């Protein structure tokens, strides 16, 4: 025949499925559902692990920066351990006049040396220990420079 279809797709023949075939289809469907559920759980675990890693990394960086900031404050004479006269004057809003001589005398009497710290105006100034500030002027550096907001 001239018009015959050689490679035509034949319509599927409707037939009854056996019980075994029905069970196999149901098992394949359930297995696919379980695999999808496991993939979702794995994705959630991975996402939360990445989130915890990011949080830990950020906290570690913040801690390192905080330590570095404290070290710089110590070096610049604005800490709980040492402070310059100008830093204390600024922190107390000019309440009281602070002279270096009584602080120096206290340091000599107690065999403690004041630290030299860099200063914009004078190049270098003395940073006096907390004990000297407390004994001579009654200024507690911990309450003055302790907790920052």
Does residue 141 lie within any of the structural domains?
Answer: yes
**pLDDT tens digits, the chain, 149 residues: what are they?**
566 666 666 666 667 888 888 899 999 999 999 999 999 999 999 999 999 999 999 999 999 999 898 787 766 656 778 888 888 888 888 777 899 999 999 999 999 999 888 888 888 889 999 999 999 999 888 888 776 54
The answer to whether position 47 is within a domain reads: yes
Name the residue range of residue 48's domain. 18-75
48, 75, 102 — which closes off a domain? 75
**34 and 70 share one domain:** yes
Q: Is residue 113 part of a domain?
A: yes
Domain boundary among 32, 59, 75: 75
- Domain membership of residue 4 (yes or no) is no
Sign of CA dihedral 91, 95, 100, 101: negative
Number of independent structural domains in the chain: 2
Local structure of residue 14 (DSSP, 8 states): P
């Amino acid at each position: 025949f001239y018009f015959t279809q050689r490679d035509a797709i034949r319509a599927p023949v409707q037939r009854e499925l056996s019980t075994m075939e029905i069970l196999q289809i149901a098992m394949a469907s359930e297995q696919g559902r379980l695999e999808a559920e496991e993939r979702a759980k794995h994705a959630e675990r991975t996402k939360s692990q990445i989130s915890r890693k990011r949080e830990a990394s950020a906290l570690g960086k913040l801690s390192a920066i905080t330590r570095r900031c404290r070290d710089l404050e110590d070096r610049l004479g604005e800490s709980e351990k040492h402070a310059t006269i100008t830093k204390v004057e600024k922190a107390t809003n000019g309440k009281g006049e602070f002279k270096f001589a009584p602080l120096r005398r206290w340091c000599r009497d107690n065999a403690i040396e004041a630290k030299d710290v860099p200063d914009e105006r004078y190049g270098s100034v003395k940073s006096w220990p907390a004990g000297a500030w407390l004994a001579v002027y009654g200024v507690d550096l911990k309450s003055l420079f302790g907790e920052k907001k």
